[in-house]
Amino acid sequence: MSQQAQMTDEQLEKRKAMMEAQDEAVREGLEVFRNKILVMSGKGGVGKSTVAAYLAVGLAKKGFQVGLMDVDLHGPSIPRLLGIKENISSSPESRKGIPISYLPNMQVMSIESLLGDKDTATIWRGPLKIGVIKQFISDIEWSHSDYLVIDCPPGTGDEPLTVAQVIPDTKAIIVTTPQEISLADVRKSINFCKQVNMRVLGLIENMSGLRCPHCGKTIDLFKTNGGALTAKKAGLPLLGSLPLEPDIVVEGDNGTVKWMEKRGLPYTASFAKIVDTVADLTK
Amino acid sequence: MSQQAQMTDEQLEKRKAMMEAQDEAVREGLEVFRNKILVMSGKGGVGKSTVAAYLAVGLAKKGFQVGLMDVDLHGPSIPRLLGIKENISSSPESRKGIPISYLPNMQVMSIESLLGDKDTATIWRGPLKIGVIKQFISDIEWSHSDYLVIDCPPGTGDEPLTVAQVIPDTKAIIVTTPQEISLADVRKSINFCKQVNMRVLGLIENMSGLRCPHCGKTIDLFKTNGGALTAKKAGLPLLGSLPLEPDIVVEGDNGTVKWMEKRGLPYTASFAKIVDTVADLTK
């Protein structure tokens, strides 16, 4: 064999050893989490990030230790939804990144908190994204946690596939709107979970009806009940239905979660029930 | 040099020749189109596919020859929006695929029309997706056309990057809703276009206000005017603002475009103006 071929072999060995070391670090990093929940959707814009962010906050407010990991590398929404402006710092001892402390018992990690200019486009191809998602676990100092909530970009591409392969015992929550065009994509997500052997905790129907703030009557903008029917057909639990609520849209834009204290709001009551159900299903 | 190394060189040569032949076929395939328009969005669920589908139909109804290519491989929406149920057939002479004829002067290509089971999840990593997008041009028998309208999945990942590299003189239309969380992602899309040297024709603000069907008053669900302000800041034209219209949501779910004939509908009037502007800008 020529010297060049030998060098390539050596380089390959080194590369293999490096990747094995990272995989080991990922395995170790995951051990701190008792439950991993992947919030996914077939279609974008159904409120997946909102559900992931508020589910993490809801579980934390119930007293659980929660980590929230935003693996939407092209359009991260979590920092804005939660009003997070800080950047990730790093620990002088472990040389790992320290996630942002949103509540005393809740940490957040997002690509947005690593970028200087928030309007920068993350133009990354698939293989690079796999590496970044692995680093979000191996190179980040997560505290011991009851839940790791993962916000994934829509669809069935590199990011959810990487989560399924890298974080083996993840359970999925699928978010949808009641429109048929969204439900068609939900069925794809359910099939994706079957193919990669990921347990689905249930479906959440978002944007399910809107009450006119002027006359009080209900407008079925994206229809209603479609999520419930799809869940039933697939033999999956419907974790809850959330109405469209203009106040929640405003709070999302402003990065506040004051609605959580407004017990009279239908959205608040429905969301509290979802958090309780998820806690029960993962006890 | 060992035999193994020689074989690898030969294989590499063959692979290189194959890829060059495909790139040549892509270049030839693109020559039939006078204008290529990429409809993109930073965030999902803002109505990007709806705009792409209706823009293609609108241009066709004005008399142009139009091709509509859906490169959203994980969540293709175009066939449902246009009520397309046929599958792609193939030409016995050229052995190429024949796109679906939606109108006498409009052809449509989508991954959905190649899949047997419409609920199948397309679990593909990045590199495979690049190949598929190339094949959508090189292996498909597009007729001579004035416009190729391309519907891209949201974000700045593999698909828009592939379109930018494979289809060099594409012009972009960016769709957004007026919410701040959507506009943040639009700024990423604008930066993406700058980085890959893609000209932006303009912005379209979708879901801009909703008239309550009961009391007639306007509900600013996702606020209004945010798209106009973002366009102004970026020095880009606002091609138009489209209101949220429950009837259009229903038509989208049913795959009909009867609204195009309802001249009195504010959505119809706004959309017609957008089509005229796009035709003017690409004369």
Token pair for A273: 């029930």
Chain B residues with beta carbon closer than 8 angstroms to that of A192: 121, 123
Query: Average model confidence (pLDDT) for chain B?
Result: 90
Place of tokens 């979708």: B206
Yes or no, beta carbons of A249 and B217 under 8 Å apart: no
pLDDT in tens, B136-174: 999 999 987 899 999 998 888 888 999 999 998 999 999
Buried-exposed string A76-94: b where 16+ CB fall within 10 A, e elsewhere: bbbbbbbebeeebeeeeee
Residue among B202, B119, B188 nearest B160 (CA): B188
Chain B residues with beta carbon closer than 8 angstroms to that of A217: 212, 214-215
Residue of A nearest to B82 (CA): A181
CB neighbours of residue B63 within 10 Å: 10
Place of tokens 């591409």: A157
Chain A closest-CA separation from residue B5 CA (Å): 8
Yes or no, beta carbons of B125 and A2 under 8 Å apart: no
Q: Residue B57 has what pLDDT? A: 98
Residue A122 predicted with pLDDT over 70: yes
Yes or no, beta carbons of A222 and B249 under 8 Å apart: yes
Rounded Cα distance between A5 and A272, Å, is 61
Chain A residues with beta carbon closer than 8 angstroms to that of B179: 249, 252-253
pLDDT in tens, A66-97: 999 999 888 889 999 999 999 888 888 888 89
pTM: 0.83
pLDDT band at A2; cut points 50, 70, 90:
very low
- Counting one residue from A and one from B, how many pairs have CB atoms under 8 Å apart? 195
Q: Which value does ipTM take for this structure? A: 0.72
Residue A131 predicted with pLDDT over 70: yes
pLDDT band at A149; cut points 50, 70, 90:
very high
Residue of A nearest to B154 (CA): A44
pLDDT band at B3; cut points 50, 70, 90:
very low
Chain A closest-CA separation from residue B92 CA (Å): 32
Chain B residues with beta carbon closer than 8 angstroms to that of A74: 42, 154-157, 188
List the single best residue of A2, A4, A188, A256 to mutate versus B (max B Cβ within 10 A). A188
- CB A160, CB A192: distance < 8 Å: yes
- Mean pLDDT value of segment B259-267: 94
Length of chain A: 283
Chain A closest-CA separation from residue B6 CA (Å): 11
Yes or no, beta carbons of B154 and A44 under 8 Å apart: yes
Q: Residue A20 has what pLDDT? A: 87
CA distances to A53, A86, A113, A162 from A142, in Å: 17, 17, 15, 19
Residue among A125, A154, A250 whose CB faces B75 most closely: A154
Helix (H, G, I), strand (E, B) or coil at B97: strand
Place of tokens 């690409």: B282
3-state helix, strand, coil in chain B (%, to 5): 45, 20, 35
Q: Residue A4 has what pLDDT? A: 47
Dihedral over Cα of A164, A169, A170, A172: its sign: positive
- CB B258, CB B271: distance < 8 Å: no
Place of tokens 């997946």: A48
Chain A closest-CA separation from residue B94 CA (Å): 32
Q: Residue B169 has what pLDDT? A: 92
Chain A residues with beta carbon closer than 8 angstroms to that of B81: 181
Chain A residues with beta carbon closer than 8 angstroms to that of B76: none
List the single best residue of B132, B187, B212 to mutate versus A (max A Cβ within 10 A). B212
Chain B closest-CA separation from residue A92 CA (Å): 32
At residue B271, φ and ψ (nearest 5 deg) are -70, -40
Residue among A153, A185, A192 whose CB faces B155 most closely: A153
Q: Residue A3 has what pLDDT? A: 46
- CB B44, CB B84: distance < 8 Å: no
Residue among B101, B100, B107, B106 nearest B64 (CA): B106
pLDDT in tens, A39-66: 999 888 899 999 999 999 999 999 999 9
Q: Residue B2 has what pLDDT? A: 45
